[in-house]
Amino acid sequence: MLNSLQKKWKVNGAQLVLILCTFAVTGTLTAFISRGITSWLGFDETTSLIWKILVRILVLVFGYQVIILIVSFFFGQFRFFWNYEKKILKRMGFINNTKEVVTPYRLAIFASGKGSNAEKIIQYFDKEPLIHVKLIVCNKAGAGVLDIANAWKINTLLIEKKAFTESDEYIEYLKNEGITHIILAGFLWKIPQNLIKAYPNKILNIHPALLPNFGGKGMYGEKVHQSVIAAGEKESGITIHLVDEHYDHGKTIFQVKTEITSADSPDTLAEKIHILEHEHYPKVIEEWLGVE
């Protein structure tokens, strides 16, 4: 039961506990407030049952929604409950539903290596009706991400450097495939100008450090973690940003930090960073696309 809730809401175990606490505290608080309101209104045993029920319904339908947002803030779950409220308001017709009828977002993931991030993104959107991972673009024959694409029956495009930097052919292919957005997940080549022009503000990258530090040419994967440890940093993290014509440079969409202890090595730091990436990248993509 808890596992299925976790899957349904796409949250980790700790977040699930905080969400359930939010519901529990909100329920108790709403009952308490509702009792306070009825006594403030002077309701007693002589008051008509209809009035009592009406006030309770009003508190439950409207007050509950406000109270849950306030309580969720204290449990650090405001974002989750705000999205939950938006869904309810949409269903009730208070905010318009235009986002729900747009053509599905068709993603191409560009990756060069193992592809653990690519796999988390594919998994996360597997049952999502509006967002589909349609293509894996890779620049390295034999890369793990190609096996992942095969296992999930997703088309792949293996691309060579010359074709990538000097031609538009593959861009036409992306357009023909209806690709709407590009997600870089450990892709190690700089994105050429023509691709940025073809997908303006529609290319997202993840970097395994807190940009603007430890980014730029040659800074990828374990090299980043080695540099962070060598510099004696006390914290590192992940940065998710839009891609522009410079390495690791476009507008930052999201950052989260992790502590570095004296026991950490580049390898243990890499593990911590991967955990953060897997947890956040799919959710940030979903929010960036405006589909929640």
Question: Does residue 163 sit in helix, strand or coil?
Answer: helix
Can residue 208 be called a binding residue for ligand GAR (CB under 6 A)? yes
Residues 265-284 as x/- pattern, contact with ligand GAR by CB under 6 A: --------xx--x-------
Contact residue for ligand GAR among 164, 186, 240, 284 (CB under 6 A): 186
Residue 156's CB is within 10 A of a number of other CB atoms, namely 16
Give the chain's count of helices (H) and strands (E). 12, 7
Q: What are phi and psi of 241, to 5 degrees?
A: -145, 160
Residues 102-131 binding ligand GAR (CB under 6 A) are 111, 113-118
Render 270-286 in DSSP notation, one character per residue.
HHHHHHHHHHHHHHHHH
Q: What minimum distance in Å lies between the beta carbon of 231 and ligand GAR?
A: 16
Minimum CB distance to ligand GAR smaller for 264 or for 277: 277
Q: Which of 11, 135, 179, 224 binds ligand GAR (CB under 6 A)?
A: 224
- Residue with smaller CB distance to ligand GAR, 67 or 184: 184
Spatial contact of 130 and 106, defined as CB atoms under 8 Å apart = no
Q: Does the footprint of ligand GAR cover residue 204 (CB under 6 A)?
A: no
Q: 109 and 118 in contact (C-beta within 8 Å)? A: yes
DSSP β-bridge partners for residue 259: 235
What stretch of H or E contains 49?
helix 49-58
Report, in Å, the least distance between residue 185 CB and ligand GAR.
Answer: 5
Contact call for residue 237 and ligand GAR (CB under 6 A): no
Which active-site residues does the annotation give? Answer: 207
Report the interface residues with ligand GAR, using CB under 6 A.
111, 113-118, 185-186, 206-208, 219-221, 224, 273-274, 277
